A and B are shown apart, each in its own frame.
Chain A
Amino acid sequence: MTRMHRTTPLVLLIVAVCLTSGCRKGATPAANLFPASSEVAGWTRAPEIRTFAPGQLSDYIDGDAEKYLKAGVKSTSTADYKYKDKIQVVVDVYTMSAPEGAKAIFDSEPAMEAQTPALGDASRLYSQSLIFRKGPYLVRIVAYEESLQLPQAMLELGHAMEKRLSR
């Protein structure tokens, strides 16, 4: 068997893995975006991560999809978390084709009474949600209940995600 013949199956395997996992130059695989359970104190992640291609985005966010498509969304991944085993939280990561896309979406949302902690390129923190952008990524953390500790806890989760986006 020639050297080329020996390496062909390996190359094909790598290509197949890349295609099935959505691996692209400069893109982080969806599973790597989300901190695992207990990686951040108080947070537990459900095992399933859903990823939506641009053409499927309306299945997830209905008419909101149009706005993200115009801004150049390449993929959307979402995972469910629980804080202190009680509060249900959803984390969405929108991967845009360029940082301008993430900025366009971020800037389109009225800030209202948000705090603006140092996180990513820009962020807004509310009592039940955190949104930040980092390069081509837009991250949205939404909790379905309030608690006094929640804003700080979301911020800690946000920082853990920011580190992953920087890898």
Chain B
Amino acid sequence: MTNASEKTRRDFLKECAIGALVAGAAPLSFADDKVLPPGANGAKSRVVIARDQSLYGASSTPDSARVLKLLDQAIQNLAESSDPVAPWKKIVRPGEVVGLKVNTIAGPGLSTHPILVEAICERLKQAGVKPGNIVVWDRYNWELERAGYTLSNDPNRVRFIGTDSKEVGYDENVLTYGVARTRLSNLLTRTCDCMINVPILKNHSGAGVTLAMKNMYGVNNNPDSLHPNNCCPGVADLNMLAPIRNKFRIIVGDAMTACFEGGPGYRPQYAWKYNGIMVATDPVAIDHTAWQIIEKKRAERGLQTLTAAGTPPNYIAVAADAQHRLGTNDPNRIALVEV
């Protein structure tokens, strides 16, 4: 006789194993009809930054048509495709439930813009994903709402939901790697088949930089335990957990408004309009690129480097080391494309 918790655990492990097989067979960096893992076939990790200086115009919010155009430019350059929808068909397979992990901790001033999420959802739907199979999520419902998202768990529409919802919660299984000993959101482990990481470019008072990998601190139940020592090796270790490694397929980074100091909260005096969208399949390469952008802005504004300020983003190098191999932080192995 099998009790319910054993069955759940077995199901979970099976899901992880299937995820690993799928990831091994058809993962991340574009080629033919699929995406390959960072650095596969000796290829450089491609990071694309698309920018539009007129993105905001005179408004305090970005123009939706320009955001969609910018997203298309970024994704098409990443995939080297002439079609804005075709790349999404490589990222997501028919029938999959797709999660969009946003970052909403800083309120409407410095969270993943709903306009960018709308643009991604638009392309996913055109690529054949049913609206109800798209789940936009973060830790807390109240943070999603504050950032401008309208909560919904209607299976016929795009869903917007926090892990703290009664019907979600954290997986009962404790996963460990290095200093990470944690439980992950059921939205990641059970609800969604694959994930799109939709973080925001920010300085972070502990980690130095937050974009792709640090955004995973919103998928587990005890992020505070991973903050010591500038989040190093916490960020890298957390990103090693199987559901994160296997399910996240692409990063669409919101770099429309960014901050060079005072993050992760919103301090308008340290924010600037970078007017960009950053995309990559290599989380280390895109985070390394984010670091350079923030350092450049800090230098322009007369601030010391993150290392001198005591917040070096050392987790980026650790994520690239021989134990982790989550991607590359070697500038010679990163193909940076600016459009």
A positions within 8 Å CB-CB of B: 58-59, 61-67, 80, 88, 90, 109-110, 112-114, 126-129, 142-146
Contact = CB atoms under 8 A, between A and B. Distances in A.
Contacts of B146: 80
Interface of B: 60, 105, 107-109, 140, 146, 204-207, 217, 223-224, 227, 231, 261-270, 301, 303
Given A109-B262, A112-B301, A142 B217 contact: no
B224 A128 contact: no
B267 A62 contact: no
A75 to B, nearest CB: 17
A127 B301 CA distance: 17
B227 A88 contact: no
Contacts of A64: 205-206, 263-265
Contact of A66 (B60, B227, B270): B227
Contact of A88 (B108, B207, B263, B265): B108
Contact of B265 (A61, A113, A126): A61
> Which of A62, A64, A80, A128 has its CB near the most chain B CB atoms (within 10 A)?
A62
B206 A129 contact: no
Contacts of B270: 110, 112
Contacts of B140: 59
B268 A62 contact: no
Contact of B303 (A66, A80, A90, A110): A110
A157 to B, nearest CB: 16
A109 B207 CA distance: 17
B60 A145 contact: yes
Nearest to B217: A62
B227 A63 contact: yes
A44 B264 CA distance: 26
Contacts of B109: 142, 144
A70 to B, nearest CB: 11
Nearest to A108: B205
B292 to A, nearest CB: 20
A129 B268 contact: yes
A62 B265 CA distance: 8
A58 B204 CA distance: 13
Contact of B223 (A58, A129, A145): A58
A64 B206 CA distance: 7
A66 B206 CA distance: 8
A118 B140 CA distance: 38
Given A90-B107, A142-B109, A62 B223 contact: yes
Nearest to B214: A63
Contacts of B108: 88, 144
12 contacts: A58-B223, A63-B204, A63-B207, A63-B264, A64-B206, A67-B205, A80-B146, A109-B267, A112-B269, A128-B269, A129-B267, A146-B60
Contacts of B107: 88, 90, 142, 144
Nearest to B142: A50
A80 B107 CA distance: 11
Contacts of B206: 63-64, 66
A58 B268 contact: no
